[in-house]
Chain A
Amino acid sequence: MIASNAEVLNFPILTLLVVLPVIGSLLVALLSGSRPEWIKLTALVSSVSTAALSLWLLAVFKSGEAGFQFVSQHVWISQWGISWHLGVDGISLFLIVLTGILFPLVIVGIDPHHNETSYFAWMLLLQAGVMGSFLSLDLFLFFVMFEIVLVPMYFLIGGWGYDQRVYAATKFFLYTMAGSAFMLIGIITTVALAHRDLGVVTFDLVKIAEGAKFSTNTARWLFLSFAIAFAVKVPLFPFHTWLPDAHTQAPTGGSVILAGVLLKMGTYGFLRFGVYLFPQAAMWARPAIFTLAVIGIIYGAIAATMQRDLKRLVAYSSVAHLGFIVLGTFALSSQAVTGAVMQMVNHGVSTGALFLLVGMIYERRHTREISELRGIQHVAPIFAGVFTVVMLSSVGLPGLNGFVGEFLILIGSFGPARWWAVVATVGVVLAALYLLWAYQRVFHGEPDEANSTFKEITVREGLLMSVFVAIIVVSGIYPKPILDRIEPSVAALIQHVEGQTK
């Protein structure tokens, strides 16, 4: 299972991806007293070099290989069989790249307005945690990273959010922590039971998944304990109620990161841990999860349609989109899972961009009420154009990235989950409805007095958005290089599942 590129093996690239942001964060915190002008620069240098590193990883990643690459493993807590074990494969590769490039964009593109030092320090710490979650191949390490992410996010929402920020931040923290409480028990039990089959106590994901056998009932309970944590994180209906609050109250940068990469920790976790460790139990739980995912798709879409607040609308659209991803993940056909992985990245890009745009609207108008906005197209045509592209990507228009993912998910799920896929397709239509309707209300019509002074997109904002638009268009027109890298790992996972369930 473990393959690696010989020529770069000695260079601990994955470890650096986690450590660099931590160093950046510490530097920011330490510099604050003596050199306030260096704060943003340090944050930027740290995040840009992480981004460069992640892009380099993308360049040297061997496509066509299914196993984990660049594996780095060091003993951490020998008494408990825990190691610092990182690795990347096709499933995590693009999430890592996304994490790598999203943070510098957020750091350069959005001003925190106050307390820069702590804002950037928390941001970089958050990046380290998210990177670590996507890279961990050790159950304990994954849990640590999964949980540690809560702390910076809590402070980002609580410190730089809007009116209800304390409520939203606390709710976010407690919901996620409650979910992971069950996962911790699940992890420890998994390790304790795997001990019998493996002969050693180890938290190594690959060893446990390949070597341990769990009885049917035990595996189901264990799967559920993991599933609760991930379902809260995704969030899957009915565990989603923290999300609209957190999204609406978070500062723009926080929302972008939350939608862009944080939610993916849930869907990624389902795939990497839930399905990989307990294939049989995952198959057993499929109908229930399909149902929740499809309810999420329809419910998220309807709720989004009803929203008066533009940001809340985007938040509910996330619930719907993540329903698609979960549907694809559990369809467990090669196409559907590949589509789900692709869609994780797509959603990160397009919803991240939508939150940025909504943030820009708020900067200008100090409101996100749809009814307060009107006719912006007339005064800011370029802004409206960018919004259109991003929105259409979110709707899933052919030629843009959103289409590729949703299409693969729906095709792939049609076999294993026919009627669920049929209902989910309605969600695609609804997505067009709520986004286009919102667009119509905000951008069409004659601008009233307050909206007539709406400022056109600035150069900085334009450059920022051009990165998103470029990704949206390029990966929509030519997704092959991306799919080529995702598919082998997905195929190997599906094979593992089929081998275990037959």
Chain B
Amino acid sequence: MTEITSLSLFELIKNIKEKKISSNEAAKSFVDRSEKSKKLNVYVTENFENCLKLSKEFDNNPNFDLKLPGIPIAVKDLFCTNEVRTTAGSNILNNFVPSYESTVTKNIWKEGGILLGKLNCDEFAMGSSNETSFFGNVQNPIAKDLVPGGSSGGSSAALAANLTPVTIGTDTGGSIRQPASFTGTVGLKPTYGSCSRYGIVAFASSLDQAGPMSKDVKDSSILLEVISSFDKKDSTSIDFKRNNYSSELTRNIKGLKIGIPKEYRVDGMPDEIEKLWEKGIEYAKDCGAEIIDISLPHTSYALPTYYIVAPAEASSNLARYDGVKYGLRSSGKSLIDMYEKTRSEGFGEEVKRRIMIGTYVLSSGYYDAYYLKAQKVRQLIKQDFDQAYNKVDAILTPSTPSSAFKIGEKSNDPVSMYLNDIFTVPVNLAGLPGISIPAGVDKNNYPLGLQIIGKPFDEQTVLNIAYSMEEKINYKNNITDWWMK
């Protein structure tokens, strides 16, 4: 029999329901493998003992009607978890233990999931390589000293290394899809308003969205079904009819129109990305989809727009970390002195950079030129998609302009780091659903992903296309467990 840890979520659930594997056996397998994988540095906080205990309790009194019956799951450390330390990858929350649970994680525990631990991420989800985390770099299981992407880098690495059957991340500008692409895994950012933001440490409120990360498309559909819910505690949560994503999942996408935006052929894009995209188009055709060339004319403004809107919101969202109520407090001679020391010591370089940018673009005299203009451009980007969706059902693009890079390779060049998000940020700005699926490898055998973008609230179509193409692509990660040797 295959190892428990390499089973898909779907298979694991099946085995547990058929009583071939107990919840405790599953928990043990993931805990054991995690214990042997410390070199990857995926966990900020382990919840192993408690997970083993809870899995036993599940086995003693099992409920197989649940969607995640006794399934151990590790989550990104941006989700507040009751009585379990939540750091957001930051020194300023190093000692913070919430007394409450995020809605998304609550939904998972309600369906039988059991917390394995909290996964490393870029500080306050600001980063594309997990290198901004206060808790250190995460190793990509694909190869040594390769970044796992970010900000959900601990999540993607844990998934690719089979340390958790599925996981959840958050995606503000690509933080689910880019690390999925870098690790040969699947990551879905749902429509803004699908998954409640209640209890998720905020980065940029108008862009943040939680979503599933998994080893295959079907698993993402199962997890999305669990975490997507209307929540009155989040005023931006939307009350729409949610599908039974996993049972409605189909590979029949015959006749669906898929758009290919010409503006995504950016200057300096590596050949292999171009080729991957061409291959993707062929796969989509093979699946029965109709390919249509479309234009998203404001694409080139998306990145600058994003890097105004997101830091602006972040600069305000992070004001609450002031040493007064919780988290780190450095001693100071006065209130202002205490603020300055706490925030200087508590925040890392990238977070400080974005607070500075955000404060600048909101300041009097600059607001109209930056923030207000960015909001207007954001509307234009949304309209681009609206118009495209008059002609097509979904859009196919590469997930990232390159494959995973080496740790340290871009950490001194923020702009080159920001360029990682070039294909993913327009989706956040427009609030659309987008998925990244593994589609091939580059010359170093590092994974590359393709992105499928859907209409608002049409996660089902996005999943169906991905599910169908996944079968044709037939990608398999080659994980050598190098870190255990």
Do A and B assemble together? no
Instruction: Show the binding face of B for A, using Cβ within 8 Å.
Output: none
